[in-house]
Chain A
Amino acid sequence: MTTTEAPPAAPVPPAAEPAPPPRGTPARRRLVPYWLLLPGILWLLVFFALPMVYQASTSVQTGSLEQGFEVTWHFRTYWDALQEYYPQFLRSLLYAGTATVLCLLLGYPLAYLIAFKAGRWRNLLLVLVIAPFFTSFLIRTLAWKTILADGGTVVGVLDSLHVLDVTSWLGWTEGDRVLATPMAVVCGLTYNFLPFMILPLYTSLERVDGRLHEAAGDLYARPFTTFRKVTFPLSMPGVVSGTLLTFIPASGDYVNAELLGSTDTKMVGSVIQTQFLRVLDYPTAAALSFILMAVVLLVVTFYIRRAGTEDLV
Protein backbone atom coordinates (compact mmCIF):
# COMPACT_ATOMS: atom_id res chain seq x y z
CA MET A 1 0.00 0.00 0.00
CA THR A 2 3.05 2.24 0.08
CA THR A 3 3.21 2.83 -3.63
CA THR A 4 3.71 6.54 -3.28
CA GLU A 5 7.12 6.07 -1.72
CA ALA A 6 10.14 6.63 -3.95
CA PRO A 7 12.09 3.49 -4.95
CA PRO A 8 15.19 3.18 -2.79
CA ALA A 9 17.47 2.86 -5.78
CA ALA A 10 16.63 6.32 -7.17
CA PRO A 11 18.96 9.12 -6.13
CA VAL A 12 17.39 11.01 -3.24
CA PRO A 13 16.65 14.61 -4.27
CA PRO A 14 17.76 17.25 -1.82
CA ALA A 15 14.99 18.02 0.67
CA ALA A 16 13.01 21.05 -0.45
CA GLU A 17 14.11 24.08 1.52
CA PRO A 18 11.16 25.67 3.35
CA ALA A 19 11.23 29.05 1.60
CA PRO A 20 14.86 30.17 1.56
CA PRO A 21 15.56 33.33 3.56
CA PRO A 22 15.95 36.49 1.51
CA ARG A 23 19.36 37.35 0.04
CA GLY A 24 21.13 34.01 0.72
CA THR A 25 21.93 34.85 4.35
CA PRO A 26 24.11 32.73 6.60
CA ALA A 27 22.45 30.29 8.98
CA ARG A 28 23.24 32.53 11.95
CA ARG A 29 20.97 35.21 10.53
CA ARG A 30 18.13 32.75 10.38
CA LEU A 31 18.25 32.49 14.17
CA VAL A 32 17.87 36.25 14.68
CA PRO A 33 14.04 36.27 14.90
CA TYR A 34 14.12 33.51 17.50
CA TRP A 35 16.55 35.45 19.68
CA LEU A 36 14.38 38.54 19.32
CA LEU A 37 11.25 36.61 20.29
CA LEU A 38 12.75 34.52 23.07
CA PRO A 39 12.64 36.80 26.14
CA GLY A 40 9.20 38.29 25.53
CA ILE A 41 7.56 35.04 24.49
CA LEU A 42 9.13 33.26 27.43
CA TRP A 43 7.71 35.94 29.71
CA LEU A 44 4.21 35.44 28.29
CA LEU A 45 4.51 31.66 28.44
CA VAL A 46 5.60 31.63 32.07
CA PHE A 47 3.43 34.42 33.42
CA PHE A 48 0.36 34.19 31.18
CA ALA A 49 0.01 30.69 29.71
CA LEU A 50 1.46 28.64 32.56
CA PRO A 51 -0.81 30.35 35.16
CA MET A 52 -3.80 29.21 33.09
CA VAL A 53 -2.59 25.63 33.51
CA TYR A 54 -2.14 26.15 37.24
CA GLN A 55 -5.59 27.66 37.45
CA ALA A 56 -7.13 24.72 35.58
CA SER A 57 -5.43 22.35 37.98
CA THR A 58 -6.51 24.38 41.03
CA SER A 59 -10.12 24.31 39.87
CA VAL A 60 -10.30 20.51 40.15
CA GLN A 61 -8.57 20.31 43.52
CA THR A 62 -10.17 19.67 46.88
CA GLY A 63 -8.86 20.28 50.36
CA SER A 64 -8.52 23.11 52.81
CA LEU A 65 -6.06 25.85 53.51
CA GLU A 66 -4.71 24.03 56.59
CA GLN A 67 -4.31 20.58 55.05
CA GLY A 68 -3.36 21.75 51.59
CA PHE A 69 -5.10 21.20 48.27
CA GLU A 70 -4.81 18.13 46.08
CA VAL A 71 -5.89 17.38 42.55
CA THR A 72 -8.86 15.01 42.83
CA TRP A 73 -10.51 15.78 39.47
CA HIS A 74 -13.42 17.18 41.41
CA PHE A 75 -15.38 18.63 38.49
CA ARG A 76 -18.41 19.14 40.72
CA THR A 77 -16.79 22.41 41.81
CA TYR A 78 -17.76 23.86 38.45
CA TRP A 79 -21.36 22.73 38.80
CA ASP A 80 -21.63 23.97 42.38
CA ALA A 81 -20.04 27.30 41.53
CA LEU A 82 -22.39 27.83 38.61
CA GLN A 83 -25.41 26.88 40.66
CA GLU A 84 -24.51 29.25 43.43
CA TYR A 85 -23.29 32.19 41.37
CA TYR A 86 -25.24 32.09 38.10
CA PRO A 87 -27.12 35.31 38.99
CA GLN A 88 -23.82 37.18 39.21
CA PHE A 89 -22.73 35.65 35.92
CA LEU A 90 -25.86 36.64 34.06
CA ARG A 91 -25.75 40.07 35.65
CA SER A 92 -22.14 40.59 34.51
CA LEU A 93 -22.99 39.70 30.93
CA LEU A 94 -26.13 41.85 31.02
CA TYR A 95 -24.39 44.91 32.51
CA ALA A 96 -21.36 44.57 30.25
CA GLY A 97 -23.57 44.12 27.20
CA THR A 98 -25.73 47.13 28.07
CA ALA A 99 -22.68 49.28 28.74
CA THR A 100 -21.18 48.21 25.40
CA VAL A 101 -24.32 49.19 23.49
CA LEU A 102 -24.48 52.51 25.35
CA CYS A 103 -20.79 53.16 24.62
CA LEU A 104 -21.43 52.56 20.93
CA LEU A 105 -24.48 54.84 20.86
CA LEU A 106 -22.75 57.61 22.82
CA GLY A 107 -19.30 57.17 21.32
CA TYR A 108 -20.21 57.04 17.64
CA PRO A 109 -21.41 60.66 17.33
CA LEU A 110 -18.29 61.91 19.10
CA ALA A 111 -15.94 59.82 16.96
CA TYR A 112 -17.82 61.01 13.85
CA LEU A 113 -17.64 64.60 15.03
CA ILE A 114 -13.88 64.39 15.56
CA ALA A 115 -13.23 62.60 12.27
CA PHE A 116 -15.37 64.71 9.91
CA LYS A 117 -16.63 67.89 11.51
CA ALA A 118 -13.97 69.08 13.93
CA GLY A 119 -11.62 70.80 11.46
CA ARG A 120 -8.91 72.61 13.36
CA TRP A 121 -10.43 71.58 16.71
CA ARG A 122 -9.67 67.94 15.99
CA ASN A 123 -6.49 67.68 18.07
CA LEU A 124 -8.05 69.51 20.99
CA LEU A 125 -11.06 67.17 20.99
CA LEU A 126 -8.78 64.13 20.83
CA VAL A 127 -6.83 65.42 23.82
CA LEU A 128 -10.12 65.92 25.68
CA VAL A 129 -11.12 62.32 24.93
CA ILE A 130 -7.83 60.96 26.25
CA ALA A 131 -7.48 63.49 29.07
CA PRO A 132 -9.71 61.67 31.60
CA PHE A 133 -7.23 58.78 31.44
CA PHE A 134 -4.67 60.94 33.17
CA THR A 135 -6.55 60.91 36.45
CA SER A 136 -6.62 57.51 38.10
CA PHE A 137 -9.87 55.78 37.09
CA LEU A 138 -10.69 54.92 40.68
CA ILE A 139 -10.72 58.60 41.64
CA ARG A 140 -12.96 59.39 38.68
CA THR A 141 -15.30 56.53 39.52
CA LEU A 142 -15.57 57.87 43.07
CA ALA A 143 -16.57 61.23 41.58
CA TRP A 144 -19.75 59.53 40.31
CA LYS A 145 -20.71 59.02 43.95
CA THR A 146 -20.89 62.80 44.20
CA ILE A 147 -22.64 63.28 40.87
CA LEU A 148 -25.32 60.66 41.51
CA ALA A 149 -25.64 61.41 45.23
CA ASP A 150 -29.09 61.13 46.84
CA GLY A 151 -30.89 64.44 46.65
CA GLY A 152 -28.25 65.84 44.29
CA THR A 153 -28.85 67.89 41.15
CA VAL A 154 -28.80 64.98 38.71
CA VAL A 155 -31.18 62.88 40.75
CA GLY A 156 -33.41 65.93 41.29
CA VAL A 157 -33.63 66.68 37.56
CA LEU A 158 -34.28 63.04 36.65
CA ASP A 159 -36.94 62.88 39.35
CA SER A 160 -38.74 66.01 38.23
CA LEU A 161 -38.73 64.76 34.62
CA HIS A 162 -40.31 61.50 35.92
CA VAL A 163 -37.42 59.55 34.42
CA LEU A 164 -36.88 57.82 37.74
CA ASP A 165 -40.49 56.61 37.79
CA VAL A 166 -39.89 54.79 34.52
CA THR A 167 -36.49 53.40 35.51
CA SER A 168 -37.82 52.29 38.91
CA TRP A 169 -40.66 50.50 37.19
CA LEU A 170 -38.08 48.76 34.96
CA GLY A 171 -36.06 47.82 38.04
CA TRP A 172 -33.05 49.92 37.08
CA THR A 173 -33.34 52.29 40.02
CA GLU A 174 -35.04 52.19 43.41
CA GLY A 175 -37.46 54.96 44.34
CA ASP A 176 -35.62 58.26 44.24
CA ARG A 177 -32.17 56.69 44.50
CA VAL A 178 -29.74 56.20 41.63
CA LEU A 179 -26.65 55.31 43.63
CA ALA A 180 -26.42 51.64 44.64
CA THR A 181 -28.70 50.57 41.76
CA PRO A 182 -28.03 48.77 38.45
CA MET A 183 -28.30 52.09 36.63
CA ALA A 184 -25.40 53.56 38.59
CA VAL A 185 -23.22 50.53 37.83
CA VAL A 186 -24.02 50.56 34.11
CA CYS A 187 -23.49 54.32 34.06
CA GLY A 188 -20.05 53.86 35.65
CA LEU A 189 -19.11 51.03 33.29
CA THR A 190 -20.18 53.08 30.27
CA TYR A 191 -18.19 56.05 31.50
CA ASN A 192 -15.04 54.05 32.23
CA PHE A 193 -14.89 52.27 28.89
CA LEU A 194 -16.04 55.03 26.52
CA PRO A 195 -12.49 55.96 25.40
CA PHE A 196 -11.88 52.31 24.45
CA MET A 197 -14.85 52.60 22.10
CA ILE A 198 -14.19 56.07 20.73
CA LEU A 199 -10.53 55.64 19.78
CA PRO A 200 -10.95 52.57 17.51
CA LEU A 201 -14.09 54.14 16.01
CA TYR A 202 -12.19 57.35 15.30
CA THR A 203 -9.26 55.45 13.78
CA SER A 204 -11.46 53.63 11.28
CA LEU A 205 -13.66 56.66 10.54
CA GLU A 206 -10.60 58.79 9.91
CA ARG A 207 -9.57 56.42 7.10
CA VAL A 208 -12.91 56.89 5.32
CA ASP A 209 -12.35 59.07 2.29
CA GLY A 210 -14.51 62.21 2.56
CA ARG A 211 -15.01 62.13 -1.22
CA LEU A 212 -17.10 58.98 -0.80
CA HIS A 213 -19.67 61.13 1.01
CA GLU A 214 -19.68 63.56 -1.91
CA ALA A 215 -20.00 60.70 -4.37
CA ALA A 216 -22.94 59.26 -2.45
CA GLY A 217 -24.52 62.71 -2.35
CA ASP A 218 -24.01 63.12 -6.10
CA LEU A 219 -25.83 59.83 -6.57
CA TYR A 220 -28.81 61.34 -4.71
CA ALA A 221 -28.29 59.48 -1.44
CA ARG A 222 -29.72 61.41 1.49
CA PRO A 223 -27.31 61.97 4.38
CA PHE A 224 -28.81 59.16 6.42
CA THR A 225 -28.64 56.76 3.47
CA THR A 226 -25.02 57.77 2.93
CA PHE A 227 -24.34 56.98 6.56
CA ARG A 228 -26.15 53.66 6.47
CA LYS A 229 -24.72 52.44 3.17
CA VAL A 230 -21.27 54.03 3.06
CA THR A 231 -19.90 55.38 6.32
CA PHE A 232 -21.17 52.81 8.79
CA PRO A 233 -20.10 49.72 6.79
CA LEU A 234 -16.66 51.24 6.32
CA SER A 235 -16.35 51.85 10.05
CA MET A 236 -17.18 48.23 10.93
CA PRO A 237 -13.58 47.33 11.91
CA GLY A 238 -13.71 50.11 14.47
CA VAL A 239 -17.13 49.01 15.70
CA VAL A 240 -15.95 45.42 16.13
CA SER A 241 -12.72 46.25 17.95
CA GLY A 242 -14.40 48.98 19.99
CA THR A 243 -17.18 46.70 21.21
CA LEU A 244 -14.67 43.98 22.06
CA LEU A 245 -12.37 46.41 23.91
CA THR A 246 -15.41 47.52 25.91
CA PHE A 247 -17.22 44.24 26.51
CA ILE A 248 -14.25 42.10 27.54
CA PRO A 249 -12.91 44.29 30.37
CA ALA A 250 -16.43 45.31 31.43
CA SER A 251 -17.53 41.69 31.89
CA GLY A 252 -14.75 41.03 34.41
CA ASP A 253 -14.85 44.41 36.11
CA TYR A 254 -15.80 44.63 39.75
CA VAL A 255 -14.68 48.17 40.56
CA ASN A 256 -17.86 49.88 39.35
CA ALA A 257 -20.13 47.26 40.91
CA GLU A 258 -18.38 47.59 44.27
CA LEU A 259 -18.05 51.38 44.35
CA LEU A 260 -21.34 52.43 42.78
CA GLY A 261 -23.55 49.40 43.37
CA SER A 262 -24.92 47.41 46.27
CA THR A 263 -24.93 43.73 47.23
CA ASP A 264 -27.76 43.28 44.70
CA THR A 265 -25.55 44.45 41.83
CA LYS A 266 -22.52 42.24 42.52
CA MET A 267 -20.80 41.06 39.35
CA VAL A 268 -18.82 37.87 38.88
CA GLY A 269 -15.50 39.71 39.26
CA SER A 270 -16.48 40.59 42.83
CA VAL A 271 -17.23 36.97 43.59
CA ILE A 272 -13.89 35.78 42.20
CA GLN A 273 -12.08 38.46 44.18
CA THR A 274 -13.88 37.63 47.43
CA GLN A 275 -13.40 33.88 47.04
CA PHE A 276 -9.73 34.30 46.23
CA LEU A 277 -8.61 37.01 48.62
CA ARG A 278 -11.00 36.74 51.55
CA VAL A 279 -12.73 33.35 51.68
CA LEU A 280 -9.57 31.67 50.36
CA ASP A 281 -11.64 29.02 48.58
CA TYR A 282 -9.18 28.67 45.72
CA PRO A 283 -10.89 25.84 43.76
CA THR A 284 -14.22 27.70 43.55
CA ALA A 285 -12.50 30.95 42.59
CA ALA A 286 -10.42 29.22 39.93
CA ALA A 287 -13.48 27.44 38.53
CA LEU A 288 -15.44 30.70 38.34
CA SER A 289 -12.55 32.46 36.67
CA PHE A 290 -12.27 29.62 34.17
CA ILE A 291 -15.97 29.75 33.35
CA LEU A 292 -15.76 33.51 32.85
CA MET A 293 -12.82 33.07 30.50
CA ALA A 294 -14.64 30.39 28.51
CA VAL A 295 -17.82 32.48 28.24
CA VAL A 296 -15.93 35.58 27.11
CA LEU A 297 -13.91 33.64 24.53
CA LEU A 298 -17.09 32.02 23.22
CA VAL A 299 -18.92 35.33 22.94
CA VAL A 300 -15.91 36.95 21.27
CA THR A 301 -15.41 34.12 18.76
CA PHE A 302 -19.10 34.01 17.90
CA TYR A 303 -19.22 37.79 17.53
CA ILE A 304 -16.10 38.06 15.36
CA ARG A 305 -17.38 35.29 13.12
CA ARG A 306 -20.79 36.94 12.72
CA ALA A 307 -19.35 40.39 12.19
CA GLY A 308 -16.78 38.94 9.82
CA THR A 309 -19.06 36.93 7.57
CA GLU A 310 -22.43 38.63 7.47
CA ASP A 311 -22.11 42.26 8.38
CA LEU A 312 -18.71 42.97 6.93
CA VAL A 313 -19.37 41.53 3.48
Chain B
Amino acid sequence: MGVLTDTGRWVRRNLVVIGGLLTLGYMIVPNVVVMVFSFNKPEGRFNYSWQRFSLDAWKDPCGVADLCGSLTLSLQIAAWATLGATVLGTMIAFALVRYRFRARGAVNSLIFLPMAMPEVVMAASLLTLFLNLGAQLGFWTVLIAHIMFCLSFVVTAVKARVMSMDPRLEEAARDLYAGPVQTFVRVTLPIAAPGIAAGALLAFALSFDDFIITNFNAGSTVTFPMFVWGSAQRGTPVQINVIGTAMFVVAVLMVVGGQLVSGRRKKTAVR
Protein backbone atom coordinates (compact mmCIF):
# COMPACT_ATOMS: atom_id res chain seq x y z
CA MET B 1 0.00 0.00 0.00
CA GLY B 2 2.83 2.34 0.85
CA VAL B 3 4.29 1.63 -2.56
CA LEU B 4 0.97 2.36 -4.20
CA THR B 5 0.49 5.73 -2.53
CA ASP B 6 4.10 6.56 -3.27
CA THR B 7 3.57 5.81 -6.94
CA GLY B 8 0.34 7.77 -6.92
CA ARG B 9 2.06 10.72 -5.34
CA TRP B 10 4.93 10.50 -7.80
CA VAL B 11 2.54 10.50 -10.76
CA ARG B 12 0.52 13.35 -9.34
CA ARG B 13 3.58 15.45 -8.64
CA ASN B 14 4.82 14.88 -12.13
CA LEU B 15 1.39 15.58 -13.57
CA VAL B 16 1.66 19.13 -12.25
CA VAL B 17 5.21 19.45 -13.55
CA ILE B 18 4.28 18.07 -16.97
CA GLY B 19 1.20 20.28 -17.20
CA GLY B 20 3.16 23.35 -16.13
CA LEU B 21 5.96 22.72 -18.58
CA LEU B 22 3.49 22.15 -21.43
CA THR B 23 1.93 25.54 -20.67
CA LEU B 24 5.36 27.10 -20.59
CA GLY B 25 6.04 25.57 -23.99
CA TYR B 26 2.78 27.03 -25.32
CA MET B 27 3.98 30.44 -24.13
CA ILE B 28 7.51 30.17 -25.49
CA VAL B 29 6.95 28.54 -28.90
CA PRO B 30 5.79 31.74 -30.67
CA ASN B 31 8.95 33.51 -29.48
CA VAL B 32 11.04 30.70 -30.92
CA VAL B 33 9.14 30.97 -34.20
CA VAL B 34 9.74 34.74 -34.30
CA MET B 35 13.45 34.12 -33.69
CA VAL B 36 13.80 31.35 -36.31
CA PHE B 37 11.90 33.31 -38.94
CA SER B 38 14.20 36.30 -38.51
CA PHE B 39 16.70 34.16 -40.48
CA ASN B 40 14.22 33.36 -43.23
CA LYS B 41 14.28 34.52 -46.81
CA PRO B 42 10.62 34.55 -47.80
CA GLU B 43 9.57 34.34 -51.42
CA GLY B 44 6.43 36.47 -51.37
CA ARG B 45 5.56 39.53 -49.33
CA PHE B 46 4.67 37.54 -46.23
CA ASN B 47 7.10 35.88 -43.85
CA TYR B 48 4.85 33.02 -42.77
CA SER B 49 6.43 29.93 -44.31
CA TRP B 50 10.04 28.80 -44.17
CA GLN B 51 12.07 29.06 -47.36
CA ARG B 52 15.79 29.18 -46.70
CA PHE B 53 18.36 30.48 -44.25
CA SER B 54 19.59 34.02 -44.73
CA LEU B 55 21.23 36.77 -42.71
CA ASP B 56 19.97 39.55 -44.98
CA ALA B 57 17.51 41.04 -42.51
CA TRP B 58 20.02 41.01 -39.65
CA LYS B 59 22.56 42.86 -41.81
CA ASP B 60 20.06 45.56 -42.66
CA PRO B 61 17.47 45.89 -39.86
CA CYS B 62 16.37 49.37 -40.98
CA GLY B 63 16.11 48.34 -44.62
CA VAL B 64 12.34 48.72 -44.68
CA ALA B 65 10.86 52.18 -45.12
CA ASP B 66 9.45 53.74 -41.91
CA LEU B 67 10.27 50.73 -39.72
CA CYS B 68 13.04 52.27 -37.63
CA GLY B 69 11.28 55.62 -37.59
CA SER B 70 8.25 54.02 -35.98
CA LEU B 71 10.51 52.19 -33.53
CA THR B 72 12.22 55.43 -32.46
CA LEU B 73 8.85 57.11 -32.08
CA SER B 74 7.55 54.27 -29.91
CA LEU B 75 10.64 54.42 -27.70
CA GLN B 76 10.26 58.19 -27.33
CA ILE B 77 6.58 57.98 -26.45
CA ALA B 78 7.26 55.13 -24.01
CA ALA B 79 10.04 57.12 -22.29
CA TRP B 80 7.92 60.25 -21.84
CA ALA B 81 4.82 58.28 -20.84
CA THR B 82 6.89 56.39 -18.26
CA LEU B 83 8.24 59.60 -16.82
CA GLY B 84 4.81 61.25 -16.65
CA ALA B 85 2.94 58.24 -15.27
CA THR B 86 5.65 57.42 -12.73
CA VAL B 87 5.79 60.93 -11.27
CA LEU B 88 2.00 61.37 -11.11
CA GLY B 89 1.40 57.81 -9.95
CA THR B 90 4.02 57.90 -7.20
CA MET B 91 2.51 61.12 -5.84
CA ILE B 92 -0.95 59.53 -5.74
CA ALA B 93 0.39 56.36 -4.11
CA PHE B 94 2.08 58.33 -1.32
CA ALA B 95 -1.07 60.38 -0.73
CA LEU B 96 -3.16 57.19 -0.54
CA VAL B 97 -0.92 55.37 1.92
CA ARG B 98 0.40 58.18 4.08
CA TYR B 99 -2.41 60.71 4.42
CA ARG B 100 -6.01 60.95 5.43
CA PHE B 101 -8.24 62.95 3.13
CA ARG B 102 -11.81 63.24 1.95
CA ALA B 103 -13.23 61.31 -1.02
CA ARG B 104 -10.73 58.47 -0.63
CA GLY B 105 -13.29 56.00 -1.99
CA ALA B 106 -13.86 58.10 -5.09
CA VAL B 107 -10.11 58.41 -5.70
CA ASN B 108 -9.68 54.66 -5.34
CA SER B 109 -12.44 53.92 -7.85
CA LEU B 110 -11.06 56.47 -10.29
CA ILE B 111 -7.75 54.61 -10.17
CA PHE B 112 -9.30 51.15 -10.36
CA LEU B 113 -11.72 51.81 -13.23
CA PRO B 114 -9.18 52.28 -16.06
CA MET B 115 -7.80 48.83 -15.24
CA ALA B 116 -11.31 47.30 -15.29
CA MET B 117 -12.24 48.75 -18.67
CA PRO B 118 -11.74 47.08 -22.04
CA GLU B 119 -9.10 49.05 -23.89
CA VAL B 120 -11.32 49.67 -26.88
CA VAL B 121 -13.84 51.52 -24.67
CA MET B 122 -11.19 53.90 -23.33
CA ALA B 123 -9.79 54.31 -26.83
CA ALA B 124 -13.13 55.17 -28.37
CA SER B 125 -14.22 57.56 -25.63
CA LEU B 126 -10.89 59.40 -25.63
CA LEU B 127 -11.21 59.81 -29.39
CA THR B 128 -14.67 61.38 -28.97
CA LEU B 129 -13.12 63.87 -26.55
CA PHE B 130 -10.32 64.78 -28.95
CA LEU B 131 -12.72 65.03 -31.89
CA ASN B 132 -15.06 67.28 -29.92
CA LEU B 133 -12.20 69.52 -28.85
CA GLY B 134 -10.86 69.56 -32.38
CA ALA B 135 -7.46 68.39 -31.20
CA GLN B 136 -4.82 67.47 -33.78
CA LEU B 137 -4.27 63.71 -33.47
CA GLY B 138 -0.62 62.68 -33.27
CA PHE B 139 2.31 62.45 -30.87
CA TRP B 140 0.67 64.49 -28.11
CA THR B 141 -2.70 62.74 -28.11
CA VAL B 142 -0.93 59.37 -27.99
CA LEU B 143 1.28 60.53 -25.13
CA ILE B 144 -1.73 61.83 -23.18
CA ALA B 145 -3.53 58.51 -23.66
CA HIS B 146 -0.51 56.46 -22.62
CA ILE B 147 0.06 58.46 -19.41
CA MET B 148 -3.65 58.00 -18.66
CA PHE B 149 -3.72 54.20 -18.84
CA CYS B 150 -0.24 53.64 -17.32
CA LEU B 151 -1.03 55.81 -14.30
CA SER B 152 -3.21 53.27 -12.47
CA PHE B 153 -0.64 50.51 -12.84
CA VAL B 154 2.12 52.71 -11.39
CA VAL B 155 -0.10 53.65 -8.44
CA THR B 156 -0.78 49.97 -7.72
CA ALA B 157 2.90 48.99 -7.89
CA VAL B 158 4.19 51.89 -5.75
CA LYS B 159 1.34 51.60 -3.24
CA ALA B 160 2.21 47.97 -2.50
CA ARG B 161 5.81 48.92 -1.70
CA VAL B 162 5.03 52.02 0.36
CA MET B 163 2.44 50.10 2.36
CA SER B 164 5.03 47.51 3.44
CA MET B 165 7.51 50.21 4.56
CA ASP B 166 8.29 50.50 8.25
CA PRO B 167 7.19 54.02 9.32
CA ARG B 168 9.59 53.81 12.28
CA LEU B 169 12.54 54.29 9.92
CA GLU B 170 11.26 57.74 9.04
CA GLU B 171 10.50 58.53 12.65
CA ALA B 172 14.05 57.53 13.53
CA ALA B 173 15.36 59.88 10.84
CA ARG B 174 13.29 62.72 12.24
CA ASP B 175 14.46 61.93 15.77
CA LEU B 176 17.98 62.35 14.43
CA TYR B 177 17.07 65.91 13.41
CA ALA B 178 16.56 65.26 9.69
CA GLY B 179 14.17 67.78 8.14
CA PRO B 180 11.12 66.56 6.21
CA VAL B 181 12.85 67.02 2.84
CA GLN B 182 16.02 65.31 4.03
CA THR B 183 14.01 62.42 5.47
CA PHE B 184 12.14 62.00 2.22
CA VAL B 185 15.23 62.12 -0.02
CA ARG B 186 17.59 60.09 2.18
CA VAL B 187 15.21 57.56 3.74
CA THR B 188 11.77 57.35 2.17
CA LEU B 189 12.72 57.51 -1.51
CA PRO B 190 15.50 54.86 -1.37
CA ILE B 191 13.17 52.41 0.39
CA ALA B 192 10.33 53.07 -2.05
CA ALA B 193 12.67 52.87 -5.06
CA PRO B 194 12.04 49.20 -5.98
CA GLY B 195 8.29 49.85 -6.12
CA ILE B 196 8.79 52.96 -8.21
CA ALA B 197 11.16 51.10 -10.52
CA ALA B 198 8.67 48.24 -10.92
CA GLY B 199 5.92 50.72 -11.74
CA ALA B 200 8.12 52.53 -14.24
CA LEU B 201 9.14 49.29 -15.98
CA LEU B 202 5.51 48.21 -16.22
CA ALA B 203 4.54 51.62 -17.63
CA PHE B 204 7.32 51.43 -20.22
CA ALA B 205 6.30 47.95 -21.33
CA LEU B 206 2.59 48.83 -21.48
CA SER B 207 3.20 52.01 -23.42
CA PHE B 208 5.71 50.56 -25.86
CA ASP B 209 3.48 47.59 -26.71
CA ASP B 210 0.13 49.35 -26.77
CA PHE B 211 -1.84 49.00 -29.95
CA ILE B 212 -5.58 49.53 -29.50
CA ILE B 213 -5.61 52.92 -27.73
CA THR B 214 -2.78 54.16 -29.93
CA ASN B 215 -4.52 53.06 -33.12
CA PHE B 216 -7.58 55.13 -32.23
CA ASN B 217 -5.77 58.27 -31.17
CA ALA B 218 -2.66 58.45 -33.35
CA GLY B 219 -4.16 59.97 -36.48
CA SER B 220 -1.58 59.43 -39.21
CA THR B 221 1.33 58.98 -36.77
CA VAL B 222 2.71 55.44 -36.92
CA THR B 223 4.15 53.75 -33.82
CA PHE B 224 5.96 50.40 -33.96
CA PRO B 225 2.90 48.25 -33.07
CA MET B 226 0.91 50.17 -35.68
CA PHE B 227 3.63 49.48 -38.23
CA VAL B 228 3.41 45.76 -37.46
CA TRP B 229 -0.37 45.88 -37.73
CA GLY B 230 -0.15 47.60 -41.10
CA SER B 231 2.41 45.11 -42.34
CA ALA B 232 0.05 42.25 -41.50
CA GLN B 233 -2.11 43.61 -44.30
CA ARG B 234 0.57 44.80 -46.74
CA GLY B 235 3.24 42.16 -46.24
CA THR B 236 5.47 41.32 -43.28
CA PRO B 237 9.15 42.21 -43.71
CA VAL B 238 11.65 39.88 -42.01
CA GLN B 239 13.06 42.94 -40.23
CA ILE B 240 10.05 42.90 -37.89
CA ASN B 241 11.23 39.53 -36.58
CA VAL B 242 14.79 40.85 -36.27
CA ILE B 243 13.62 43.71 -34.07
CA GLY B 244 11.32 41.43 -32.06
CA THR B 245 14.20 39.02 -31.44
CA ALA B 246 16.64 41.79 -30.55
CA MET B 247 14.17 43.27 -28.05
CA PHE B 248 13.70 39.85 -26.50
CA VAL B 249 17.43 39.15 -26.18
CA VAL B 250 18.23 42.59 -24.75
CA ALA B 251 15.41 42.37 -22.18
CA VAL B 252 16.36 38.85 -21.07
CA LEU B 253 20.00 39.88 -20.71
CA MET B 254 18.94 42.87 -18.63
CA VAL B 255 16.79 40.71 -16.34
CA VAL B 256 19.48 38.07 -15.91
CA GLY B 257 22.13 40.75 -15.32
CA GLY B 258 19.94 42.43 -12.72
CA GLN B 259 19.42 39.10 -10.98
CA LEU B 260 23.15 38.43 -10.87
CA VAL B 261 23.93 41.90 -9.48
CA SER B 262 21.23 41.76 -6.80
CA GLY B 263 22.28 38.20 -5.91
CA ARG B 264 25.89 39.31 -5.42
CA ARG B 265 24.75 42.29 -3.37
CA LYS B 266 22.71 40.01 -1.12
CA LYS B 267 25.72 37.74 -0.61
CA THR B 268 27.99 40.62 0.39
CA ALA B 269 25.29 41.98 2.68
CA VAL B 270 25.10 38.63 4.46
CA ARG B 271 28.84 38.59 4.93
Interface residues of A (CB under 8 A from B): 19, 21, 32-34, 36-37, 39-41, 43-45, 47-52, 54-55, 58, 106-107, 109-114, 117, 123, 125, 127-147, 149, 191, 194-195, 223-224, 244, 248-249, 251-255, 259, 269, 272-273, 276-277, 282, 285-286, 289-290, 292-293, 296-297, 300
Q: Is B132 an interface residue (CB 8 A)?
A: yes
A140 vs B100: C-alpha distance in the bound complex, in angstroms? 45
A255 vs B118: C-alpha distance in the bound complex, in angstroms? 13
Q: Tell which of A123, A139, A141, A254 touches B120, judged by Cβ atoms closer than 8 Å.
A: A254
Are B113 and A37 in contact (CB-based, < 8 A)? no
Are B119 and A109 in contact (CB-based, < 8 A)? no
Which residues of the other chain, B, contact A297 by a CB distance below 8 angstroms?
Answer: 116
Are A109 and B23 in contact (CB-based, < 8 A)? yes
Q: Tell which of A131, A136, A269 touches B224, judged by Cβ atoms closer than 8 Å.
A: A136
Interface residues of B (CB under 8 A from A): 9, 12-13, 15-17, 19-24, 26-31, 33-34, 37, 48-49, 88-89, 91-92, 94-95, 98-101, 107, 110-111, 113-114, 116-122, 124-129, 131-132, 144-145, 147-148, 151-152, 155, 205, 208-209, 211-212, 215-216, 224-225, 228-229, 232, 236, 240-241, 244-245, 247-248, 250-252, 255-256, 259
A-B contact pairs, 19 of them (CB 8 A): A34-B95, A37-B92, A54-B125, A110-B23, A113-B20, A123-B259, A127-B259, A134-B247, A134-B251, A135-B31, A136-B247, A138-B211, A139-B244, A143-B30, A143-B31, A191-B30, A252-B121, A289-B124, A296-B118
For A195, the closest partner residue in chain B by CB is B27
Are A110 and B116 in contact (CB-based, < 8 A)? no
Can you name 5 extra interface pairs (CB under 8 A) apart from A109-B15, A143-B30, A252-B118?
A39-B91, A47-B147, A109-B16, A112-B20, A125-B24
Given contacts A132-B28, A135-B248, A138-B211, contact A47 B145 (CB under 8 A): yes
The 6 closest A-B pairs by CB, nearest first: A252-B118, A113-B20, A109-B19, A33-B99, A134-B251, A40-B88
Which residues of the other chain, B, contact A111 by a CB distance below 8 angstroms?
Answer: 20
A180 vs B193: C-alpha distance in the bound complex, in angstroms? 46
In the complex, the number of residue pairs spanning A and B with C-beta atoms less than 8 Å apart equals 250
For A109, the closest partner residue in chain B by CB is B19
Chain B binding site: helix, strand, loop or mixed by DSSP?
A: helix
